[in-house]
Amino acid sequence: MATALIILGAGMGTRMNSDLPKVLHEIAGAPMLVHAMKSGAALDPEATVVVAGHGAALVEKAAKAYDPDVIMALQSEQLGTAHAVRQAQEALADFDGDTLVLYGDTPFIRSETLAAMAAARLTHDIVVLGFEAADPGRYGRLIVQDGQLDRIVEFKDASDDERSVSLCNSGVIAANASVLFDLISEVGNDNAAQEYYLTDIIGIARSRGLSATVVRCDEAETLGINARSELAQAEALFQQNARATAMDDGVTMTAPDTVFFAHDTVIGRDTVIEPNVVFGPGVTIESGATIRAFSHLEGCHVSRGGIVGPYARLRPGAELSENVKVGNFVEIKNAQVAEGAKVNHLSYIGDASIGARSNIGAGTITCNYDGVFKHRTDIGEDVFIGSNTMLVAPIRVGDAAMTGTGSIITRDVPGGDLAVGRARQENKPGFALRFFQKLKAKKAKGS
């Protein structure tokens, strides 16, 4: 059965106290909306519709950055969840299959849970995701009778008996698209909030003789984000799960609580991660690497046997081949470092390539920016770059060449050559003693 996703993301999120739409606040380096889209993507949907409202242009930009084929729908007035879902009807007018309604501010629903909902749809007309709440609070209650979901009651409209029920509504619903929109057409707003509740479709469906059931999940999966404190809790929950998964996959972390992952971090087994390492989006670490303390990595790839840090920064486009060493206070950006090469100390390598087994001395800088354009530095194999070398791009250093310490290199260096680009040293005998004697005498006179 074909599946379409409807992801609701129109809310302003007043409690976030932010100009940014609520669903664009980030967890693990990605907007909450993207987390929801990733969860739904496990069902291989034929179409994904994101319903936006507040900050719609920003929401669209984020959604399309993750999935260029996403369809946007606009909810110009926020009149309730049923009203929001109805905005997707036109986009799915020609769709024949099941729809799954997700929420852009509920980022942790697992793909296995959604698969269970899809399986339940084979035997029931409507499937609702529910959870047993430790503290039901103001959640809507799922009222089950004779093994069927009979109705969903919002807290504001629930009786005391209904409020005593601990099985709560996550808001996630699966149904055939035509059935869903037909049921929504009958939803009214005669309730305490005068909103069009999506949950009302259950009672309408049951009155028609349609079947409804509940798929249960862990309460943590349904965590919704409405305030900054909840955003912080969600980040902590993500990191806790990511660390546990990494260690289960064979990654060693000596102080796991100090390591922070992005939503898409990939780390191979037998990799060692020391304390206080931060992974931004787009990082892949192959097996057997070591990421040493206080390093920051984003948009990069570290191959097997690589050693990074301590206090290293790998920026987007950094590609490290096998057995590369990147040491303390080294920054690498948009550069390819070939097998066995070393950049061990206090260096910046940007817009560059470094050949196999080359050694980059301490304090080396690739001067890649002229104020308008970026330029490349290409360093061949088995090259020795002396400490404190400035390589003024565009420039090429050939295989087995070397540069003298403290050089400013402005021209290509042929393979096998030594390049020295510094002023000749001149010593002036006794000058330092005479100079300081003169200054001290001047100070003594008070002038």
Task: Tell me which residues are annotated as active site.
Answer: 345
Cβ(346)–Cβ(329) below 8 Å: yes
DSSP 13-62: -GGG--SS-GGGSEETTEEHHHHHHHHHHTT--SEEEEEEBTBHHHHHHH
> What phi and psi, each to the nearest 5 degrees, are found at residue 7?
-115, 120
Q: Are 131 and 196 in contact (CB under 8 A)?
A: no
Residues written for the chain = 447
- List of residues 6+ apart from 415 with CB closer than 8 A: 380, 398, 399, 400, 401
345-352 long-range Cβ contacts below 8 angstroms, 24+ apart: 349/377, 350/374, 351/375, 351/376, 351/377, 351/393, 352/376, 352/377, 352/378, 352/379, 352/393
SS3 182: helix
Instruction: Output the CA–CA distances (angstroms, integers) from residue 439 to 415, 430, 431, in the order listed.
Output: 49, 15, 12
Q: Which amino acid is at 49?
A: V
Distance CA(103)–CA(37), nearest Å, equals 9
Tokens linked to 60:
């669209």
Residue 317 φ/ψ, nearest 5 degrees: 90, 0
Cis amide linkage into residue 310, ω under 30° from 0 = yes
What Cα–Cα distance (Å) separates residue 129 from each residue in 59, 146, 234, 399?
A: 25, 18, 20, 62
- 391 touches 397 (CB < 8 A): yes
Beta-bridged to residue 278, according to DSSP, are 260, 296
